[in-house]
Structure 1
Amino acid sequence: MHNIFITGSSGYLGTRLIEELGAKENAGSIVGTDIVAPRNETDKCTFLNMDIRDPGMDRVLSRHDIDTVIHLAFVVKPIHDLARMHDIDTNGTRNVLQKSVDAGVRHIVAVSSTLAYGAHPDNPPELKEENPLRGNRSYPYGYNKARVDEMIQDFAADHPEITVTILRPCTVFGPTVDNYVSRMLFQPLTVGIQGSNPRVQFVHEEDFVRACLIAVEKRIPGVFNIVGKGALTTKEVASITGTRIIPLPAFLLYPLVEILWRLRVPVIEVNRGYLDYARHGFVAGGRKAEIELGFVPDFSSRQVLEDTARRRRYADRQT
């Protein structure tokens, strides 16, 4: 039985995780924190409106006798205030780590991302956990993920008394996902970089939540890629989602996206740096998680996307 503290608990992944943790027979107490209230209240979790930079977090951890922290909170949706984004992601994570030490937490499960590897033309066909983290500086989310991931690894080395598990999922997808990635993938018309057709991969939200549960139960230290099997090309993705891609040359698309982003045109939800990830593959291998964690995804990347597309079409017919 573990008493668990979840940061970023009101997001779709935090919500799913709370549902699964609360359903376990040996479930301890669950405390969820976020700066926005959850969509659906549940008696399975005590919700606290708290910023991850809150200096009083250690008192909350101690009051609820927390032994496990699951750190999900991160600025996912790109924002224009890069200083604030960096402060939340970096200093917020630093605060979570230090307050966990102060409160005597025994296990931290930190969620990183395969975006931390960066999107580069010289990436190997399959990125492994020991590959360097080269998150593109031009895309703040991926860059911050890389730097925070490194921070957590350094923390783990400095605090052997705490078990630290870092999960690096690829794009988490599924029927309840609603973010800028899902909106871009399922819009009827989009633009792409002429001559680019990189491989991309997905992990189903159900598989990701299961990986988190395994990490909590097994308490195995280390870094693990959490990915669906196989990968799809960008054109295969568009075929499944029904999106038509209009190819534009890179020299035109990059400045166009940046101008529209700076003008805050609503349809543009990312800056030009995201285009690097749409141009170069960053496919990661999941063998280590399979061997050491015992995590095997139920859905392949193709099945993740097909399942999501099928459920979205069904939902559209009901409205």
Structure 2
Amino acid sequence: MPADPVTFPGMPRTVLVTGISGNLGRAVAKHLHTEAQVVGLDRRAFPGKPKDIEHHQADLRKARAEDAFRRRRVDAVIHMGIMHDPRMPFSEAHSFNVVGTQRLLELCVRHRVKKVVVLSSANVYGPRPQNSNFLPEETPLMGADRASDVRDLVEVDMYAQSFMWRHPELETVIVRPVNIVGPTVRNAPSNYLRLESPLTVMGFDPMLQLIHEEDVCRALVLALRPGLRGVFNVSGPGEVPLSAVLRELGRGPVPVPHPLIRPLVRRLFDARLTSFPPDEVDHIQYLCVVDGSRFAREAGWAPRFSMRETIRSVL
């Protein structure tokens, strides 16, 4: 289902997108480039780049990244330049994610950018046995307690929150979408749902929230709306039990007793027999369901893709 371009009064004229060379970054650029001048910033090349998009191949941590701001007046930034690779050495990922974000936000202040949208994740709350249904944005960020790969995301999110209070002259929006899935997405949830015989935790069937990658792109563009600022959960078309998702995909789950599943997934991951990291086991065991009503109310948000379309988008 091709989505219509998101547009609104006061759409920024020039939008800089970090992480533009990734699949999600390309999709955001596609949504934006008919409505605004798009400037890309990514340390990776951008093969197949549309002619009307200006791309700067540079690491956010390096001085050369500032060229993207010097060349033209940047009105708004969508920051998606976060590395999610559980096999990446922690020190390199931490430097790229946290130091890169700090550097980017400093450049936004220096060049008087009016709006910054930071892509975070609802996973910053963490799936926990004591979680209630529909966590609001004020919920403590406990995702790093048991999942080391979420640590950077929590730190980036908290730094962006402090930046928002220190620089009220700059409209800052932190977007926390639920589990992103889609045909081009290669994250842990999508990889798990592509397994023919995924492991499940015996006796557990948590409710899941999924959102289509195209809907996430629309939400990020919508977050550029003038006057919108703050932290927002972004939910998809609803909630559904893990068992129902696997049934819709025709998967044959393999239930594993709770004490055995984490060491088993660790062995499979270390042997490169699966791309599903052991830190993600909590997501197929415990609840992490968020309340997305604030973004729906203040930004006029509603997902375009149905639950069935969203689930089947991983095929």
Do these two structures clear the TM 0.5 threshold for a shared fold by scoring above it?
Answer: yes
Is structure 2 residue 293 aligned with structure 1 residue 287?
A: yes
What secondary structure sits across from 1:239 in the alignment?
helix
Q: How does 1:145-294 map to 2 (within 5 A)?
A: 145-261=153-269, 263=270, 265-294=271-300
State the AA in 2 paired with 1:267: L
Matched residue, 2:144: 136
What is the CA–CA distance in structure 1 between the aligned matches of 2:268 and 2:294, rounded to whole Å? 41
State the AA in 1 paired with 2:22: G
Q: 1:99 aligns with which of 98, 101, 107?
A: 107
List runs of 5+ in structure 1 lacking aligned partners: 313-319
CA contact (8 A) 2:149 2:279 kept: no
What is the CA–CA distance in structure 2 between the aligned matches of 1:47 and 1:297, rounded to whole Å? 29
Distance 1:100 1:56, change over 3 A: farther
Q: 4+ runs of 1 displaced by more than 4 Å?
A: none
What is the CA–CA distance in structure 2 between the aligned matches of 1:6 and 1:166, rounded to whole Å? 15
Higher-helix-fraction structure: 1
Q: Deviations over 1:37-66 (max 9, x none)?
A: 234221131112111222343343132211
CA contact (8 A) 1:58 1:103 kept: no
What is the CA–CA distance in structure 2 between the aligned matches of 1:7 and 1:160, rounded to whole Å? 22
Matched residue, 1:18: 29
Matched residue, 2:69: 61
Is structure 2 residue 303 aligned with structure 1 residue 297?
A: yes
State the AA in 1 paired with 2:278: R
What is the CA–CA distance in structure 2 between the aligned matches of 1:202 and 1:250, rounded to whole Å? 24
CA contact (8 A) 1:10 1:38 kept: yes
Per the TM alignment, residue 80 of structure 1 is displaced from its structure 2 partner at its CA by: 4.2
CA contact (8 A) 2:20 2:42 kept: yes
Between the two proteins, the alignment pairs up a number of residues equal to: 304
Sequence identity (%): 30
Matched residue, 1:76: 84
Matched residue, 1:109: 117
Per the TM alignment, residue 295 of structure 1 is displaced from its structure 2 partner at its CA by: 0.8
Most deviating of 74-83 and 220-229 = 74-83
Distance 1:177 1:110, change over 3 A: same
CA contact (8 A) 2:173 2:223 kept: yes
Q: Deviations over 1:278-316 (max 9, x none)?
A: 21111111110111111111234344113x16xx4xxxx
Per the TM alignment, residue 219 of structure 1 is displaced from its structure 2 partner at its CA by: 4.3
TM-score computed with the length of structure 1 as normaliser: 0.89
State the AA in 2 paired with 1:10: S
Most deviating of 289-298 and 209-218 = 209-218
List runs of 5+ in structure 2 lacking aligned partners: 1-11
CA contact (8 A) 1:168 1:224 kept: yes
Per the TM alignment, residue 180 of structure 1 is displaced from its structure 2 partner at its CA by: 4.2
CA contact (8 A) 1:218 1:293 kept: no
RMSD: 1.8
What secondary structure sits across from 1:97 in the alignment?
helix
